[in-house]
Each structure stands twice: as structure tokens, then as C-alpha cells.
């Protein structure tokens, strides 16, 4: 067990020894969408788990981010040490649209009677579209904006670790290790290519715990750190109350960015619904054009058998 915490400590130190910030798609309900950022989560719910999430950020502002996510994962084989997952993320910001297609693989080892440590790998790629015709140009004489980018493919490899027990979880990951530079296609023959954008490595640290207040009420705090080279660290913290293992209500804070409310309902043992709303705490939130950010998710799960559910899954 000491070895597990030593490994996690070293990885956390290596990730956060510099100053970073978020670049990938952003989620308020990250605690229900962990596989999008950590491949080691695949198969950890002991079920065939399918989750869809829709996020509309900064409603009312033209070109603001809109994200759709669909993922599915499950343990494979009788030993249930291996997890396999598949995810699709579509992220649109202004004239750019990126579609991520990834396969997630995990291998889990028992560290104690209740603790498990999973190692994960994410393999896939993403397609980039940039339509410069969507821009309000100051001038039409800029040759850099003459040629749009259509379905440019870039490969992707990511890694992650995820440790969990009945009421505790902690994960660290880098879902995209390949830094890709995007250049203007119309300028490929010139001596100096024109730089458009750069994909940088995003690092994630996620954790949470479940406190029993009484037999009908639980408190579920969670936190997520997101980091990318060259910008400030982004930190999310949330606290949800779970009533009778069905109704969830809570709040979240994104450091120097937003306040959020979260709500969820476990319809039955197979279906869960969730909603989140963000208020911007920056100057952007004081504009009359910004109606906040909305996020919805639906999770559907097929359990292999009642005997497989040793305890309720809270994350």
C-alpha cells in the first residue's frame, strides 16, 4: 500500500512542479465523466456504463464553446482486471470544431481487501475543422484566411492511474501526450510556415470522498486540478449531498472563474440524470450577453448480476 502512495506522490510532483492551466474541453460534472480525462477509469464501475453529456458554455455569446460527449466502458473477462472503453467528444469553439475518437484500456490490481489501483492507456485521434468563412474579417486581403482546414487528423496517446476504494478515489492522468502543431495549409511551400495553433499536454488530478452523515444522507466532496504549460493552474472543487441514494444536490466553484449548482436523480439502478449551471465570476459574467453555462448528462448502466454489486457506487 505504501508503494501505491509513493508512486502517486511522485506523479503528482512531476505534473505540478510548474504552473499550468486548462486547454481541453471543460466539464462541471467531471465526477460523472471521469473516463473523458482518465483512461484508467474504464471498467471501474463493474457494469456496462454508457454516459452522454451536453455542455453549452456562455449562452448568448456567439462562437462560445459547445461540447457533446458520449462514452461507454465495461470490465472484460471473468477476472474483471481488464477494462475497455470507447469515447467520442465533439468540441466546437467559434470557427473551429474538433472531434475526438478514443479507445481506453485499463488493467486493475488489488492493493488491499477493498482498494484497487488501475493503470490506463488511451489511443485514438482527433479531427480538426477550421472554417474561416465564419469569421467577421477586418479585411479580406489576409491570405492566411483563404484556405480552411478540413478534417485534419492528428493521432492521440494518453495515460492515467486511478486508485479507488468503497468511498475514496484518486486519479492522475494526461489524456493527450502528443503535442501537435497546426499550420496554414496555403503557406506550406513558403520558407516560414504560418503558425495557427498548438495542442499542448493537459494534466489532470481528480479525487473525492463519500462521508456518511446518517443512513439517509451522504456528503460527496470532489476536486479536479487541470494544468497545461504556459498558463495558470485551474482548480475545481465541489460538494454534493446525496439523499437516500437517489437525489443529489450541491454546489461547485471553479477558481477565479465560476460558481455552479449541481443536481442529479438516480431514476433506478440503471439510469441517472444530472444537471449543472455555471455563473461566471469574471468580467465576462457581467455582460448582458452571457446567460451562463448549462450542462446535462444521462448515464445508463447494465449490471452483469446482482452478486457483482458488493456496495453502491457513488462515483
Q: What's the pLDDT score for residue 7?
A: 38
The pLDDT of residue 79: 76
Kindly report the average pLDDT of the chain as a whole number: 82
Provide the grid cell at 12.
503528482
- The grid cell for 158 is 494518453
Cross-strand bridge partners of residue 308: none
Task: Tell me what pLDDT residue 282 has.
Answer: 82
pLDDT for 314 equals: 78
Residue 232, pLDDT score: 79
Question: Hey, where are the domains in the chain?
Answer: 2-308
pLDDT of 307 reads 47
pLDDT at 90: 95
Half-sphere exposure of 1 (CA within 13 A, CB side): 6
CA 55 vs CA 1, 177, 306: distances in Å: 38, 25, 33
The residue among 10 and 40 whose pLDDT is bigger is 40
Place of cell 448480476: 305
pLDDT at 200: 75
- Condensed to tens digits (0 to 9), the pLDDT of residues 162-217 reads 999 989 999 999 998 987 665 544 444 444 444 455 667 889 999 999 999 999 99
CA–CA distance, 43 with 81 (Å, rounded to integer): 8
**What is the predicted pLDDT for the residue at 184?**
47
Candidates 3.30.460.10, 2.40.160.40, 1.20.1250.20, 3.40.50.880; CATH matching 2-308: 2.40.160.40
DSSP calls for 101-160: EEEEEEEEEESSSS-EEEEEEEEEEEEEEE-GGGS--S-S--GGGSS-EEEEEEEEEEEE
Three-state DSSP state, 208: strand
Q: Residue 161's closest CA among 8, 1, 3?
A: 8
pLDDT at 152: 85
Give the tens place of pLDDT for each residue, 16-57: 333 333 357 889 999 999 999 999 999 999 899 999 999 999
> What's the predicted TM-score (pTM) here?
0.83
For the segment 131-143, the average pLDDT, to the nearest whole number, is 60
Higher pLDDT, 267 or 140: 267
Query: How many CB atoms sit inside 10 A of residue 222's CB?
Result: 23
225-241 mean pLDDT: 89
pLDDT on residue 169: 96
Amino acid at each position: 500500500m505504501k508503494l501505491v502512495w509513493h508512486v502517486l506522490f511522485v506523479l503528482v510532483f512531476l505534473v505540478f512542479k510548474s504552473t499550468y492551466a486548462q486547454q481541453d474541453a471543460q466539464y462541471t460534472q467531471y465526477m460523472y465523466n471521469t473516463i473523458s480525462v482518465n483512461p484508467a477509469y474504464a471498467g471501474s464501475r463493474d457494469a456496462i456504463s454508457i454516459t452522454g453529456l451536453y455542455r453549452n458554455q456562455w449562452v448568448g455569446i456567439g462562437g462560445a464553446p459547445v461540447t457533446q460527449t458520449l462514452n461507454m466502458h465495461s470490465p472484460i473477462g471473468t477476472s474483471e482486471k481488464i477494462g475497455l472503453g470507447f469515447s467520442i467528444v465533439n468540441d466546437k469553439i467559434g470557427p473551429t470544431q474538433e472531434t475526438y475518437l478514443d479507445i481506453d484500456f485499463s488493467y486493475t490490481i488489488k492493493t488491499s481487501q477493498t482498494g484497487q489501483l488501475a493503470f490506463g492507456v488511451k489511443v485514438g485521434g482527433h479531427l480538426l475543422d477550421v472554417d474561416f468563412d465564419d469569421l467577421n474579417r477586418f479585411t479580406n486581403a489576409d491570405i492566411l484566411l483563404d484556405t480552411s482546414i478540413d478534417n485534419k487528423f492528428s493521432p492521440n496517446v494518453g495515460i492515467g492511474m486511478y486508485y479507488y476504494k468503497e468511498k475514496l478515489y484518486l486519479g492522475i492522468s494526461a489524456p493527450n501526450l502528443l503535442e501537435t502543431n497546426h499550420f496554414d495549409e496555403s503557406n506550406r511551400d513558403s520558407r516560414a510556415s504560418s503558425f495557427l495553433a498548438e495542442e499542448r499536454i493537459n494534466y489532470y488530478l481528480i479525487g473525492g470522498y463519500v462521508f456518511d452523515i446518517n443512513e439517509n444522507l451522504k456528503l460527496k466532496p470532489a476536486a479536479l486540478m487541470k494544468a497545461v504549460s504556459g498558463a495558470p493552474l485551474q482548480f475545481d472543487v465541489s460538494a454534493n449531498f446525496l439523499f437516500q441514494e437517489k437525489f443529489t444536490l450541491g454546489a461547485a466553484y471553479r477558481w477565479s472563474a465560476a460558481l455552479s449548482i449541481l443536481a442529479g436523480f438516480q431514476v433506478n439502478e440503471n439510469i441517472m440524470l444530472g444537471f449543472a449551471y455555471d455563473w461566471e465570476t469574471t468580467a465576462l459574467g457581467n455582460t448582458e450577453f452571457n446567460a451562463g453555462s448549462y450542462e446535462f448528462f444521462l448515464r445508463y448502466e447494465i449490471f452483469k448480476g446482482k452478486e457483482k454489486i458488493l456496495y453502491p457506487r457513488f462515483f
